[in-house]
């Protein structure tokens, strides 16, 4: 596997003299980035998972300005940016193995950063940002919805002993075929009676197929993904190959066009303030408080309702005692004052593990003391 790509960055700066600022920089930049492709780990036979993934590239554009105002007491920066990803590498869990896949995506947004010191001892900061993302015309299998709501797709839950239990796969109805309970029962009976090595290939889950159908998963059975040759499937109107070309034996593709990228909130804001108290003997005491908040986002690129992560915020505070000439300092601090369980990201486990969602939670309320010496 060999890849070659030209990368680099081009920047243009302009420093105009403006009446309403002390100093101004306006800049524009273009950058080309690149990440090499690679090989995916091995996975259970019978599942169509790509053995390799493509290199990722990005074209990044930015237009911004940095300004000093009000006699040097206010720093105001702002920028607008646009990222165009080609073959963005995204990860998924397949059969307890992490594999990489590729999609196209675009991101764009506006950011602002402000620092204000209205008096010698006061300092305030504010950062705001808005980010939008849109996935291109890309298709992948949603492990949480392998049939993609299609009536011509049959979900198979691999229950074969000696394999990784519970992996999902699908088979497809051939064009012109219809699926009825009688057809399905005849197919199961034929396999179990006439093909000894496939005895028990299909069997109803506890509660019958309707137990899963009641939750929106139509035409569902348990069986063996690896032991489903076309010669046995075709006479009964099935195939492991999607006749529409929009699926694999792992599942029917979902078109992601227009979906948001994972972990991309539309809006974020961060504010902070501090004040310096001057004590005797040139000691200073500096209390500070910060707060961060973000809107809701999705934990996966499929944007299923269960992928939605709610908005959250976190507040922190600290007090620092500084020695004369900053020879040493002692800081008492507390993080996540509200002790909130903020979900910062998540991933969906393989169907062999029951498709549970593993959530990443921010640190709980923590507090402590930090000391240091400046040399």
pLDDT tens digits in sequence order for the chain, 375 residues long = 777 888 999 999 999 999 999 999 999 999 999 999 998 887 655 556 678 899 999 999 999 999 999 999 999 999 999 999 999 999 887 766 788 999 999 999 999 999 999 999 999 999 999 999 999 999 999 989 999 988 888 887 665 544 455 677 788 888 877 666 666 667 666 655 654 444 444 444 444 444 444 544 444 444 556 556 676 677 777 888 899 989 888 889 999 999 999 999 999 999 999 999 999 899 999 999 999 999 999 999 999 999 999 999 999 999 999 999 999 999 999 999 999 999 999 988 888 778 889 999 999 999 999 999 998
167 burial level (CB within 10 Å; 0-12, 13-18, 19+): buried
Pairing state between β 220-223 and 153-158 = parallel
Q: What pLDDT does 239 receive? A: 85
| Torsion angle of C-alpha atoms 161, 166, 169, 172, degrees rounded to 10 | 80
Question: Considering only CA atoms, which of 309, 305, 287, 285 is closest in space to residue 296?
Answer: 309
Q: Name the DSSP letter for residue 187.
A: H
Question: How far apart are the two ends of the chain, measured CA to CA in Å?
Answer: 50
199 Cβ neighbours under 8 A, 6+ residues apart: 191, 192
172 Cβ neighbours under 8 A, 6+ residues apart: 152, 153, 154, 238, 239, 240, 241, 242, 243, 247, 252
pTM: 0.82
| Torsion angle of C-alpha atoms 21, 22, 26, 31, degrees rounded to 10 | -130
Output the furthest CA–CA distance in the chain (Å, rounded).
95
Report CA-CA distances (Å) from 201 to 167, 194, 229, 259, 272.
14, 12, 12, 37, 62
Question: Considering only CA atoms, which of 192, 189, 73 is closest in space to residue 121?
Answer: 73
Q: Which two tokens stand for residue 126?
A: 């504010």
d(CA 116, CA 75): 6
8 A C-beta contact, residue 133 and residue 264: yes
d(CA 157, CA 169): 7
Is residue 305 classed as helix, strand or coil in its secondary structure? Answer: helix
Q: Which two tokens stand for residue 292?
A: 């961060």
Q: What pLDDT does 221 receive? A: 46
Q: Name the DSSP letter for residue 229.
A: -
């Amino acid at each position: 596997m060999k890849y070659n790509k030209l990368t680099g960055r081009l920047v243009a700066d302009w420093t105009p003299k403006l009446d309403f600022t002390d100093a101004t920089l306006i800049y524009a930049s273009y950058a080309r980035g690149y990440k090499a492709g690679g090989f995916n780990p091995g996975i259970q036979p019978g599942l169509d998972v790509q053995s390799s993934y493509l290199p990722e590239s990005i074209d990044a554009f930015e237009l911004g300005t940095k300004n000093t105002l009000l006699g040097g007491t206010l720093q105001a920066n702002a920028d607008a940016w646009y990222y165009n990803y080609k073959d963005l590498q995204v990860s998924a869990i397949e059969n307890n193995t992490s594999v990489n896949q590729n999609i196209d995506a675009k991101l764009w947004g506006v950011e602002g950063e402000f620092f204000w010191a209205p008096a010698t001892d006061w300092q305030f900061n504010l950062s705001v940002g808005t980010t939008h993302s849109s996935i291109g015309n890309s298709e992948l299998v949603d492990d949480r919805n392998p049939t993609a709501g299609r009536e011509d797709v049959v979900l198979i839950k691999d229950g074969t002993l000696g394999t990784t239990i519970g992996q999902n796969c699908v088979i497809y109805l051939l064009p012109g075929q219809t699926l009825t309970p009688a057809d399905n029962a005849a197919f199961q009976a034929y396999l179990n009676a006439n093909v000894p090595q496939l005895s028990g290939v299909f069997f109803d889950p506890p509660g019958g197929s309707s137990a899963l159908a009641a939750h929106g998963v139509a035409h569902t059975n348990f069986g063996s993904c690896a032991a489903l040759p076309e010669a046995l499937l075709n006479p009964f109107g099935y195939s492991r190959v999607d006749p529409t070309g929009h699926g694999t034996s792992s599942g029917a593709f979902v078109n992601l066009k227009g979906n948001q990228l994972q972990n991309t909130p539309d809006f974020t804001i961060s504010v902070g303030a501090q004040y310096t108290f001057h004590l005797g003997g040139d000691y200073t005491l500096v209390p500070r408080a910060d707060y961060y908040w973000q809107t809701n986002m999705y934990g996966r690129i499929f944007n299923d309702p269960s992928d939605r992560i709610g908005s959250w915020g976190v507040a922190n505070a600290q007090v620092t005692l500084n020695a004369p000439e900053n020879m040493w300092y002692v800081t008492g601090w507390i993080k996540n004052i509200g002790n909130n369980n903020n979900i910062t990201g998540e991933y969906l486990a393989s169907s062999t593990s029951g498709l549970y969602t593993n959530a990443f939670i921010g640190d709980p309320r923590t507090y402590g003391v930090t000391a240091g010496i400046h040399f």
